Structure 1
Amino acid sequence: MNIPAHAPLHLLHSTAVGTLATHARQPEGFPYPSVLPFAPDPLHRPTILVSRLAEHTHNLHADPRAGFLVVDAPDGDVLNGQRVTLLGTFEPVDPTPELVARYLRYQPDAERYLALGDFTFWTMKLDRLRYIGGFGAMGWLDGDELDPLPALDSGEEEALIAKFADAASKSGGYQLIGVDRYGADLRLNGARKRLAFDSAKPDMESLHATLGDCIWSQTN
């Protein structure tokens, strides 16, 4: 195994769309891939918003085991780009105000689907994942190896976003949409940008200082 530190985690924050592979009901047992937007939850796991009428939703109700593929190949060179395949089970989650607010920061266009009342949130519980970052950089991880540190709670993240929102906007018009112990997520004109920290920040003091430095660096 030769995986750059936290590379799979950062990839899950850099990409807005993934491929969900469920088990088809008809014809039974076949993989059923579909492309859909997602947002990483505080544990960096994909959270999806799906219609109750969608085929993949019916498939998940019948068998929650699934694969989820995320790819970043900005130059179109998929074989030399980054990709991670996640294996696990999807579980429906309650649309708490905190979950909805976070998802809409990452996927603002989803607000129109929420208004329909037909869509539900599901989050993936990870069993294993395989990351490929180009030639010689690949390997398997167990789900609990993705992030061994405790996640920020919604109040901590929202406080950091409120604190640095103006600074992010002044550094090129970015919107600060998410913060975790390993980096921060920005959005500009619909495109997402990941600011990766040099190391994990285990406490709010170091996280606060590093986040300020990273946002300030966007103006220089």
Structure 2
Amino acid sequence: MQPPPDFNASRLARSLLRRSRQGALATLMVGSGDPYCSLVNVASHADASPILLISRLALHTKNIIGDSRVSLMLDERAAGDPLEGARIMLAGRAEEATGDQSALLRRRYLNAHPSAEGFVEFKDFSFFRIAPSGAHLVAGFGRIVDLKPGQFLTDISDAEALLEAEPGAIQHMNEDHREAMNLYATKLLGADSADWTCTGCDPDGIDMQVDGKTLRLDFPERVTSGMALRKMLVRLAGEARAKD
């Protein structure tokens, strides 16, 4: 059965990748090759690929070092029967980050999981990024789709200026524009009023969270620089205020 024409599989897949904070990680056991599944915390790279902070003492990390092939199951954690909610199974290879890449993954992960500050410096912990080879999205009857990476990852090849501006933009929004963040959440996304904070910016949108709840605000068009991001956020704040 083909999905209905109004179903945007790529957008839903990206939303799940951006909003998810936990997932089930499947690895292959060293020696036997048997499947092994574990619960992990996740964040998203600027391109939406998953970021992990895992210990070399953990069995799943030992498995990854032996064979980098993994799969990651993410779901929207909807109330009621979990099988009625959307979920995505992403397949790929887990790659350990080094140098500047490790610094980028660290920043984005800690924005999503500030409590990890307490152990991120432990010598046995490292950041890994899952480089996807594909994904299987299940979003209800007639909404089951296989996706290639280009259909759910965000193109950041032209967004170097935006990525450089991202840390300052997040700090500025969280320190000086909490009112705007709450407007985005309540007026544009229909969420409850709360002390929403920004955890990430990318060409396609911004990520927000509060008390374990996460939101994704998609932009109406791509932005690739700090100036374009500022203009977009001002525009969206105006649209949100106009809804009062």
Indicate the TM-score class for this superposition, using the shorter chain for normalisation: 0.7 to 0.9
1:47 aligns with 2:69: no
After superposition, where does 1:39-118 map in structure 2 within 5 Å? Answer: 39-94=43-98, 96-118=102-124
Shift of 1:215: 5.0
Cα distance in 1 for residues equivalent to 2:179 and 2:112: 16
Cα distance in 2 for residues equivalent to 1:215 and 1:123: 33
Distance verdict in 2 for CA 1:189–1:73, change over 3 Å: closer
Q: Which amino acid aligns with 1:11?
A: L
- The C-alpha deviation readout for 1:135-155, integer Å capped at 9, x for no partner, is 222211112332363254431
Cα distance in 1 for residues equivalent to 2:121 and 2:209: 23
1:21 aligns with 2:26: yes
Structure 1 length as normaliser, TM-score? 0.87
Shift of 1:191: 2.4
Shift of 1:160: 2.7
Higher helix share: 2
Task: Name 2:35's counterpart in structure 1.
Answer: 31
Retained in 2: the 8 A contact 1:126–1:144?
no
Structure 2 length as normaliser, TM-score? 0.80
Higher strand share: 1
| Counterpart among 133, 147, 164 of residue 155 in structure 1 | 164
Distance verdict in 2 for CA 1:112–1:163, change over 3 Å: closer
Cα distance in 1 for residues equivalent to 2:39 and 2:153: 25
After superposition, where does 1:114-193 map in structure 2 within 5 Å? Answer: 114-147=120-153, 149-150=155-156, 152-153=159-160, 154-165=163-174, 166-168=176-178, 171=182, 172-193=194-215
Cα distance in 2 for residues equivalent to 1:53 and 1:180: 33
| Counterpart among 201, 204, 208 of residue 222 in structure 2 | 201
Identity %: 26
- The C-alpha deviation readout for 1:33-62, integer Å capped at 9, x for no partner, is 101101100111111011111000010011
Deviating more after overlay: 39-48 vs 136-145: 136-145
Q: After the TM superposition, list the runs of 4 or more consecutive aligned residues in structure 1 that deviate by more than 6 angstroms.
A: none
What RMSD over aligned residues (CA atoms) do the two structures have, in Å?
2.4
Q: Which amino acid aligns with 2:216?
A: R
Aligned length: 218
Distance verdict in 2 for CA 1:62–1:169, change over 3 Å: farther
Shift of 1:202: 4.2
